[in-house]
A = this chain, B = another copy of it.
Amino acid sequence: MMIRYGMIGGGEGSFIGAVHRKAAALDGNFELVCGSFSSKPEKSKSSGRALGLAQNRVYASFEEMIEQEAKLPEDERMQAVSIVTPNHMHFAPAMKALQNGFHVIIDKPIAFSLDEAREMAQKVNETGLVLALTHTYTGYPMIKEARHRIRSGKIGKVRKILVEYPQGWLATFLESEGNKQASWRTDPSKSGAGGATGDIGTHAANLAEYVSGRQITQVCADVNIVVEGRKLDDDSAALLRFTGGATGSLIATQVAAGEENDLKLRIYGEKGGFVWTHTDPNSLLHKPIDGPAQTLRAGNAYLSEAAASNLRLPPGHPEGYLEAFANIYNAFARAVTDHAQGSYTVPEDYDFPGTKDGVRGMAFVETMIASGKSETKWTDFII
């Protein structure tokens, strides 16, 4: 089934809006039927035109879009909204969409604050609608393979979880130079309580928990503003404690000058470790305790269904970020389709990040910020 969706945000010049559209288009499961692409009506119009939408399906505001679409015949109106606005503009459109019976797929972090996240989660529960959160990195097939193998006991009890996310693009005072991406991400009124912590730290924490199957219970964080004049943290690191007795550490910095986007996850257990890095996402290193390291590679017959069902190509044909993104869209599509056919019950039946991840993500940000200010070593993970 092809899902009809509308987009909120993502007008001309937006990075993440285009990413969502390409991810939705890739496998032919989504059709963009309407949009409210900007808070500026003119920009929304011109963006919609450029995307080839019918004039009357391009709206001046998200309120208008949701209200008008709700009035259209069931087989014509959008079924889902994709929300790709800055963080402070997630909550209102998501709530209104849910209230009007539309499924929601939303860029991370889920909201501006933990309170908002909790309220959204409750609304999703009440309505029984589908909400997916694009924690992209969990969409990578080899990440799913790692998760599957750890669940299957390949490395025994998990002991050590090391996750790091170094970027360098905020090593200068970029927001003072008119850079749009930098501006809202470093602005507390748009981004929320966390800077690097929210922007990339949430990805790192989510990935670590997703793959390890362990949850952070305590953090000891060092949260810094390195670039003078900046208003939100651009550099953080933390010692971590997880359920089940594992420990670990997390690095989320945007001032590692010269680095690009090098998310890396290492998980060690009694019998070996798994290493995955975003610079080579189609490989997964399995390091057994008693033999040579194995490089598991996308596309091969020896992979689990968890990976295989998220792959499109044979071995040696690299898939990337957009494909990982599309995997989340596709899982969302399956849930929405099942919902339309009456067979959807709970999100746990599907493999996409949702409100639980969203709430934990916001809690992670607030925990990190609190720990960063605390003189006590360990801060309990806020739940």
Instruction: State in angstroms the CA–CA spacing of A280 and B172 once bound together.
Output: 29
CB-based nearest B residue for A162: B251
Contact A160/B253 with A222-B247, A258-B272 known, Cβ cut-off 8 Å: yes
CB < 8 Å neighbour of A297 from B224, B226, B292: B292
Instruction: State in angstroms the CA–CA spacing of A256 and B289 once bound together.
Output: 9
Q: Report chain B residues within 8 Å CB of A15.
A: 314
A168 interface residue (CB < 8 Å to B): yes
Instruction: State in angstroms the CA–CA spacing of A268 and B166 once bound together.
Output: 11
Q: Report chain B residues within 8 Å CB of A319.
A: 320-322
In contact, B249 and A237 (Cβ under 8 angstroms): yes
Q: Report chain B residues within 8 Å CB of A281.
A: 318
A214 interface residue (CB < 8 Å to B): no
- A contact set with B: CB distance below 8 Å: 2, 15, 18-19, 21-22, 25-28, 51-52, 155, 159-160, 162, 164, 166-169, 171-172, 220, 222, 224, 226, 235, 237-239, 247-249, 251, 253, 255-262, 266, 268-273, 278-282, 286-297, 299-300, 302, 312-323, 374-378
CB < 8 Å neighbour of A168 from B51, B255, B273: B273
Q: Report chain B residues within 8 Å CB of A318.
A: 278-279, 281, 318, 320-321
In contact, B256 and A266 (Cβ under 8 angstroms): yes
9 additional contacts (CB under 8 A) given A171-B270, A237-B239, A260-B314: A25-B26, A159-B235, A160-B226, A162-B251, A237-B249, A257-B272, A292-B297, A292-B300, A317-B321
Q: Count identical subunits in the complex.
A: 4
In contact, B278 and A259 (Cβ under 8 angstroms): no
Q: Report chain B residues within 8 Å CB of A248.
A: 237
Q: Report chain B residues within 8 Å CB of A312.
A: 18-19, 22, 322
Q: Report chain B residues within 8 Å CB of A293.
A: 258, 294-295, 297
Q: Which 9 pairs across A and B sit closest by C-beta, in order of nearness?
A: A258-B287, A261-B316, A260-B316, A318-B320, A260-B315, A320-B320, A292-B294, A257-B289, A317-B321
Instruction: State in angstroms the CA–CA spacing of A299 and B239 once bound together.
Output: 32
Rounded to whole Å, the gap between the CB of A231 and the closest CB of chain B is 18
Rounded to whole Å, the gap between the CB of A340 and the closest CB of chain B is 15
Q: Report chain B residues within 8 Å CB of A27.
A: 22, 25
In contact, B316 and A322 (Cβ under 8 angstroms): no
Rounded to whole Å, the gap between the CB of A11 and the closest CB of chain B is 15
Q: List 22 A-B contacts (CB under 8 A).
A: A22-B312, A25-B28, A26-B322, A160-B226, A160-B235, A160-B253, A160-B256, A166-B266, A167-B316, A168-B273, A168-B289, A171-B270, A237-B247, A239-B239, A256-B266, A258-B273, A260-B297, A261-B316, A292-B295, A293-B294, A294-B294, A312-B322
In contact, A269 and B294 (Cβ under 8 angstroms): no
Rounded to whole Å, the gap between the CB of A77 and the closest CB of chain B is 18
Instruction: State in angstroms the CA–CA spacing of A11 and B312 once bound together.
Output: 15
Instruction: State in angstroms the CA–CA spacing of A297 and B261 once bound together.
Output: 12
Instruction: State in angstroms the CA–CA spacing of A319 and B26 once bound together.
Output: 13
